[in-house]
Amino acid sequence: MNEQPDFSRIKAFIFDVDGVLTDGSLLCLASGEQVRAFNIKDGFAIRHAIKKGYVVAIISGRKEEGVYKRLQSLDVQHIYLGVENKDEVFQAFLQEQNLVPEQIAYMGDDVPDLGVIQQCGLAACPADAAADVLAVCHYVSEIPGGKGAVRDLIEIVLKRHSKW
């Protein structure tokens, strides 16, 4: 893809978790719990986008209670964790929200995200995404995953819409 991004039609954001909202690192505790670190600036941007009327969803292959609680604390209403087929969840989300793919900005970082990336209106990824993803995204943030790449995308879209 790598064509000029079209930010004008975006009404919803969908994000992957590991490698996008986090840097992809896992801290494995003796209890077996796997802990991730989220960027507070990404959290602010997500809440701000929701307050400005954008729909925000999360689609992730992993399912962790701590991740779910963090996303709930940001007022995210559409949280899909433990997803094996992101394409199916993406299509169901579009129908549920009465949206078309061109209205979606999706940020993913690795091969499981490619199906949705190739369908959405604005395909985005963090600077440190996998090569296969970097090659097909409309927008590549200069910021790595878990370090503010989500905020970067939200901020640029909302500024284009005069809502930042």
Report the candidate in 68, 62, 59 with the shortest Cα–Cα distance to residue 82. 62
* Collapsed DSSP state (helix, strand, coil) of residue 119: coil
Report the candidate in 22, 24, 36 with the shortest Cα–Cα distance to residue 147. 22
Do the annotations mark residue 152 as ligand-binding? no
Please name the residues in contact with 128: beta carbons below 8 A apart, sequence gap of 6 or more.
Answer: 19, 109, 144, 145
Do the annotations mark residue 110 as ligand-binding? no
Report the candidate in 98, 42, 91 with the shortest Cα–Cα distance to residue 71. 42
Do the annotations mark residue 109 as ligand-binding? yes
Radius of gyration of the chain (CA): 14
Do the annotations mark residue 52 as ligand-binding? no
Do the annotations mark residue 42 as ligand-binding? no
Contact 125, 109 (CB under 8 A): yes
Do the annotations mark residue 132 as ligand-binding? no
Do the annotations mark residue 159 as ligand-binding? no
Distances (CA, A) of 110 to 94, 104, 133, 147: 22, 18, 6, 17
Annotated binding site: 16, 18, 47, 62, 70, 86, 109
**Annotated binding site for substrate: which residue ranges?**
18, 47, 62, 70, 86
Q: What residues are designated binding site for Mg(2+)?
A: 16, 109
